[in-house]
Every structure is written in structure tokens, then in C-alpha cells.
Structure 1
């Protein structure tokens, strides 16, 4: 919601008027210098939108505000051209409405187009989030990173490294939406108040690492690549089992963490729907972008969301720090997922992150069944993994 500055208005006053944390208003207007506002400037108020109300007989601003639990001055701010003493029956006024329901509808086939639309909607509703492009896919789709918060501790979560594991993207988007609502409504998630975390943690989210692959699974092949992709897919026109990127490379086998060993024992030696690690590590633009994010982002811990198995992996060659074991115990306790320290699989993003930075990294396998998991599991998966999300940013 946008408002026009009046004489004497300040960010602090707006925070009191709309019962919002001051820092969220400051960060929603980061292009404005300090707290010195100029009359007529446009200020973004996060967590609100503007609705319309039609004046009825006997209405006053005071009565309308009281019925809607608003300050009279909030109505005056949004209706500066009106004379509150001379309201006309049938005229429309603007009223501020708090956003209390999710902006994102996660339980759907979640293509890149839906992700792109939802990120724009969240940025409009919660302008304190920072959205940037960290790279692009083989077909030129942007790889988005969303940053929330100002804290020194930086927690990164990503989703949809694997195309047919796309349900991880709406799960992550649901968490982001719930987190943003809890901030603007000064609420809690499972008893944890989120507002203090905003100043102590920076949350980094990449909700779709492999947009080309996700769209291939959900929408089918682009016409120009249809024949080539069918060939990669062993002649099969059903792409529901596709894990790789559009080049037929498994993005979670692309990292220089015992990559040569993984390459030797993989049956796939050429582009394929799954398990081909590429002809060299970090050959794919999506994998490169994620590596650069880790190198430049000073990430304290990383969670990579996959499906399926209801377990998580957290070790690599003994390089993981003691903190990882503590977090693993908490993750297991709050989710019911099985904690697994080592598995006989290498060259993944989690493996490389631990190797490079000796910081906690986790691969979390959501849900149970055959990929792609059905949307009927969405709520159960979310409730299980929500505790892991909370522990990752709270501990």
C-alpha cells in the first residue's frame, strides 16, 4: 500500500499508525534518505492493501474507523482530498486493509511462470524483501534470490534442483509467505515470535534452481527442443520422471566434491533424464550460479530441499562442523525425519558447501513416495518440514 506524506509524517509515526515494526517500513522505502520525509512523497506501507468503502447515511470517519479497528488518521491519510465533515452518501473512500491471508497458493502445478508471478505479488505486498537475479537457466529464465532480514547470520534454503521434485518450490514459497505475514502482523509460528529474527537473521531463498527442468516436467518440451529432448528421454514422450536440467545434466551431481568418483560410477555417460553429472563439474549455468551465490554470500548454513524419503543428510567426509550434529538432532526432533550423517553419494551442492566452507549443510528429502510427489501430500509435508525451517533460522 502506498500513501502520500503529509506535514509532520515520519516512518516512526506510520509504524505506530499501522502497528508495524519500524524497520519493515524503513526497509520498504530504502531509496529514501533517513527519516526526513518530504510532503507529497510516496511511502510504501508493507502488509496492507487499499480497499474501497461506499459511504452510507450517517457515516462518519470516526464511526468507520471504530467499526474497522482503525485510527481515524489512517483514513485521513488515505483520503487527503476529502472533507471528513462533508461525506457524501454513495461516495467511495479508501480504507487500509491488513493482509492476513496467504498471497501464494502453493497447492498447484508450480511452474516457473507461477513462481515469477508470485514473487512479484509478494514484493508488492511486502516491499521490504529484496529480490535479485543471481543467474539464468540454459533457456534464459532468471534464477531469483529473495533476501529477508538484516541479521549477521545468513541462512540459505533452495528448492527444485531436480525437475520432478518441483513440489519443494511451493513448500518453500509457503514458508516464505507465512514468515512475511508473521512479521507484518507481529505474530508467531509455532510459538516462535518472528519479529526479533528479522534483525538477527538474513534469510536467503532460491525457490527454483532448475526452472527449465520444472517447466519440462509440468508443461512438456518446448517445440524447438522436442525431438532432442525425446532422444535424451530414451524415446519417451512422458517427461514426468525428468530430474535433470534442459541439457540433460543432473544439477545436484555438478559440484567438485568427489565429482570424478561420482562420474565414474554413474551409468549415464551422456545427457539423460537423470544421473548424468555432465562432462565436467560446474558446466551448467544453474550450478555455476548457485556456487557463486555460496562464494559471495557468506552463508552460515545451507538447506537444499529435495524429495523423497523423509530423511536428511548432513555430513561429508568428516568436514562438517560440530554445529551440524546439534542442528541435525533438532531437525530430527521437530520433524520426525530420519537423520543420516553419511551416504554413498557425492558431488551434491550440500557436499561441496561443507567441503568449501566447513559450515553446516543439509539435503532434506521431503515426503514419501514416487516423484513427482502428489499435491495431496502438500499439507503433511509442510507441517513436517516447518519445524526444520524454524530451527534453521532460530538456532
Structure 2
């Protein structure tokens, strides 16, 4: 919420006025010197947005405050108005907490919906950072959200596979709940999320494969070349429920140089809805963007959310560090998912991360059933995954 500085105001007084932690006020205005605020400067108050109210007969500022359950001092702070000169039909600005803001998470995400929600969230909560880390085959941005200032650097991603986009919804729901918790200072499952913010720098890539997700959730692309391509790969069928790959028919989670040759020799030899690892490692822009992100950042652990099975894969070729087992045991305890150390699979994102960095990496298979999982499972899956998100604070 944009807020105009009035005489005598400081970040500390704004924090007190709106009951938002001071450090979040500072983070949301990190390009402003808190000691050089001037009357008329505009600062952002995270966790709020402004709405308009039309003055009715017999209204007073006090009665409006009581009716809307908004403190009078907050209403007065965003309006230059004589309380004794209210006129019917005039409008007031009223600051409203964003925890009543409406986002739909229990439905499939498209890229357009994801981008719209991310832009809204970074406007409402500018202490989070939104970055573009690459582009898809069809030139759609691949976004990373970064939030927190902690020494533990944790990365989580979703929708490597087209028909697993419920993972995007899970990530976005957690992000929203986390942002609201920070600004309202209400814990999540008794966890103080300000402590989470202080101890963890969290990186989220909610949708690795935007072209594939849109193919599944919106149908054939408008672009004639890619429309013809996916129809050819899918044998003319417009049912894409079995499609895991990117728009060129490459499985992005078989693209990494961790025994890639094994997957090449036993999987599809040409573009397909699933299980084609490409002509060589890291040919696809989505896989490259994720590899470059990891190479650029010093992640302490990574979690790739997939579906389905309610299992957590956590080892690779004996290269995982000893603490990986302690971490996965806690993930399993809080989620009810079964940890599995080794599986006959290679060339995946977490395989490559463990191989290259000797740090904990996890593939978390959410829910159970046939992909794409129905959204009737969303609430259950979210509660299971929420435990894993929060556990990163303790292990």
C-alpha cells in the first residue's frame, strides 16, 4: 500500500500504526534511507491495500471505522479530510489488510494466472523479490521468488512436468500464507514465521515448465508451429493428460548430466509426451535456466515437487551427505510420506544437484493416484507439504 509521509512520521511510527514488523517496512522500502524521509514521500506498507468508501447519510469517521473494523487513526492517516465536513457521496480511502485478499489456489494454474498472481503479490508484499531466471521454448518467463534473509538457503520448485501442475498451486498457497503470516504476525502451526524469515532465504520457482502446463490446462497453443508439433508428437490426440514433457517433447527432469547416457539408452529416442531425455543433456531452455540458477546461487538444499506416490527420494549413487537422512526423516515424520534412498533413475534435477554439490536434494512426490491429480486432493496435499516447508526451519 502506498502511504504518504506526514509530519513527524518515521518507519517506526508507521510500523506501530499498522502493526507491521519494522524490519518488513524497511525491507519493503529498501531503496529509501529511513533517516531521510521527507513530508510527501511515498513509502510502501506491506500487507495492506487501499480501497474506496463512499460516504453515506449520517456517516462519521468514527462510525465508518466501527462498521469496517478499521482503526480510526489508520483511516485518518491516509485521508486529508476535515472530520466535521464529510459530504454524502464523497469518497474516502480505507486501508485493508491483505489477508482478506482473494486468490484461488485450489484450481489448475496457467502461466497467465501465475504471472498475474506473482505481480499482485510482489506489489502487495514488496519485501519479497521476483526475478526472471530464463524463458521457455515459447518465450514465457520462468520466475523465481526470493524471500527471507537467513543464512540457510533453501530452494523449492514445481511443475517440471506438465501434468503435475498442482505442485505450482501448493507452492503459491504456501507463499501467500507465509506473506500473510509475516505481516499479521500470526504463526503457522505455531511456527513464528518471522523466525523462518530470519533464518531461511527461500527460493521458489513455482512453474519450471510453463509451455507444458498451458498445453495441459489450456489446450493447443495458438502458435501454428507448436500446435502442429504437439499434435504430431501426441499422435493427433488433443488429450494431453499423459503429457509430462516441455512443448518440444523433452522430459525436463531427464535433462541433467547425472548418468544421462543411461536414460538415453533405455528411454524414448525421439520427442514424446514423456520419457524422452533429449539429444544430449541441457538442450532445453527451461532445464538450462534451472541449472544456471543452481550454479549461480549457493543453495544448501533443493526440493523438487512432483506427483504422485507420497514418497520422498533423497539419495543418489551414495553421493548424498550424511545430514540428508536426518532431514528426510523429519520430512517424512511431518508429512507421512515414505523416504526412499535409491531408485533406478538418473538424469534428474535432484540427482544432478547431489552429484555436483554433495548437498541434500529431494524429489517429493505429492499425493497419490493418476496424474494429473484431481484438485479434490488439494487441501490434503497442501497440509502434508506444509509440514515439509516448515520443517526446513528445524533441520
Task: Tell me the TM-score range normalised by the shorter chain.
Answer: over 0.9
Match of 2:73 in 1: 73
Distance 1:102-1:379 versus aligned 2 partners, 3 A rule: farther
Match of 1:176 in 2: 175
Distance 2:208 2:318 in 1: 27
CA shift, 1:90, in A, is 4.3
Match of 1:186 in 2: 185
CA shift, 1:383, in A, is 1.2
Match of 2:341 in 1: 341
Q: Which moved more, 1:44-53 or 1:114-123?
A: 44-53
**CA deviation digits over 1:324-358, x for unaligned, max 9?**
11111111111111110111101100011111111
Distance 1:102 1:94 in 2: 17
Match of 2:309 in 1: 309
Distance 2:236 2:308 in 1: 26
Distance 2:270 2:282 in 1: 16
* Matching of residue 130 in structure 1 with residue 129 in structure 2: yes
**CA deviation digits over 1:241-260, x for unaligned, max 9?**
10001111100001111111
Q: Which runs of 5+ in 1 are unaligned?
A: none
**CA deviation digits over 1:184-208, x for unaligned, max 9?**
1101111111112212211100000
Distance 2:232 2:70 in 1: 62
Distance 1:221 1:228 in 2: 10
CA shift, 1:57, in A, is 5.5
Give matches, 1:159-308, under 5 Å: 159-222=158-221, 223-266=224-267, 268-308=268-308
**CA deviation digits over 1:106-153, x for unaligned, max 9?**
122211111111111111221211001000000100000001111121
Q: Which moved more, 1:369-378 or 1:27-36?
A: 27-36
Distance 1:215 1:62 in 2: 49
Q: Which moved more, 1:52-61 or 1:326-335?
A: 52-61
Question: SS of the counterpart of 2:73?
Answer: helix
Distance 2:239 2:354 in 1: 36
Distance 1:92 1:249 in 2: 55
CA shift, 1:394, in A, is 4.1
Check whether the contact 2:199–2:393 (CA below 8 A) recurs between aligned residues: no
Distance 2:110 2:90 in 1: 42
CA shift, 1:299, in A, is 0.7
Match of 1:139 in 2: 138
CA shift, 1:69, in A, is 5.4
Distance 1:255-1:102 versus aligned 2 partners, 3 A rule: farther
Check whether the contact 2:70–2:96 (CA below 8 A) recurs between aligned residues: no
Q: Which moved more, 1:91-100 or 1:282-291?
A: 91-100
CA shift, 1:34, in A, is 3.5
Distance 1:324-1:103 versus aligned 2 partners, 3 A rule: farther
Match of 1:16 in 2: 16
Distance 1:325 1:62 in 2: 58
* Matching of residue 3 in structure 1 with residue 6 in structure 2: no
TM-score (norm 1): 0.95
Match of 1:369 in 2: 369
**CA deviation digits over 1:129-182, x for unaligned, max 9?**
100100000010000000111112111100000011111111110111111111
Distance 1:55-1:103 versus aligned 2 partners, 3 A rule: closer
Distance 2:146 2:100 in 1: 21
Distance 2:70 2:227 in 1: 56
Match of 2:351 in 1: 351
The count of aligned residue pairs is 393
Distance 2:102 2:258 in 1: 39
**CA deviation digits over 1:42-97, x for unaligned, max 9?**
111111111233445554435544665544432222102x1123333443222211
Distance 2:211 2:56 in 1: 53
RMSD: 1.6
Distance 2:60 2:239 in 1: 62
Distance 2:297 2:52 in 1: 43
Question: SS of the counterpart of 1:316?
Answer: coil
Question: SS of the counterpart of 1:9?
Answer: coil
Match of 2:39 in 1: 39
Q: Which moved more, 1:214-223 or 1:325-334?
A: 214-223
Q: Which runs of 5+ in 2 are unaligned?
A: none
CA shift, 1:31, in A, is 2.1
TM-score (norm 2): 0.95
Question: SS of the counterpart of 2:116?
Answer: helix
Question: SS of the counterpart of 2:95?
Answer: strand
